[in-house]
Amino acid sequence: MGIVWNLVPGNWNFRIAMDGEKRDKGTFETTTENPEETLRLGRVLGEILPPGSFVALVGSLGAGKTLLAKGIAGGLGVEDEREVTSPSFVLVNEYRGRVPVFHLDLYRLETFAAVEGIGWDEFVCGPGVTLVEWADKVEVDLPEERIEVHLQWVSEEKRKLVFGGKGTTGEKIIAKLGNRWKREK
């Protein structure tokens, strides 16, 4: 099934440090100055995401995960991206874009078993694009090919975003995102 990497809650920072050592072609880092810019950045990513993509959104409450997800959904052709809201209570929302878009929020989960019950394999292995907030909340296997976005609060209107493309496709996507954002920002 192509799932190799086991994410242990609490080890996330350690892994960021590891990635930082080989900060290379698969990484793109930027700062947004306001919510609208985060939304636009999300749209650019959504436009270039191929079917089957998996995006893990990581960052504390209010970091901008849902806002970025709205933008990504918009870039994927979801007509009213404003409808994209945090799926905390239903676990998953599905939207119709140029491919199905699944939006999950694992914040309230105690264990991963609940996600398996709602068809995790379908999200991960199907042709849709899966966006997962709080992907570090429970112990969960993430696909080898994926995008990780770490969002960090800098100040009231400023956020730092670090994009990591994992796997050969993930690396290419993030390289492309970096180039396009440099031109469009």
Q: Is the CB of 65 or the CB of 150 nearer to ligand ADP?
A: 65
Q: Which is nearer to Mg ion, 27 or 159 (CB)?
A: 159
* Least separation in angstroms between CB 70 and ligand ADP: 8
Q: Is residue 111 at the binding interface for ligand ADP, with CB under 6 A as the rule?
A: no
Three-state SS for 31?
strand
Burial 46-80 (b: 16+ CB within 10 A, else e): bbbbeebbbbbbbbeeebbbbbbbbbbbbbbebee
Query: Is 86 one of the binding residues for Mg ion (CB under 5 A)?
Result: yes
Paired tokens of 81: 């991206």
Instruction: Tell which positions 156-185 bind ligand ADP, by CB under 6 A.
Output: 157-159
35 contributes a contact to Mg ion by CB under 5 A: no
Per DSSP bridges, beta strands 92-96 and 158-166 are: unpaired
Q: Which is nearer to Mg ion, 133 or 145 (CB)?
A: 133
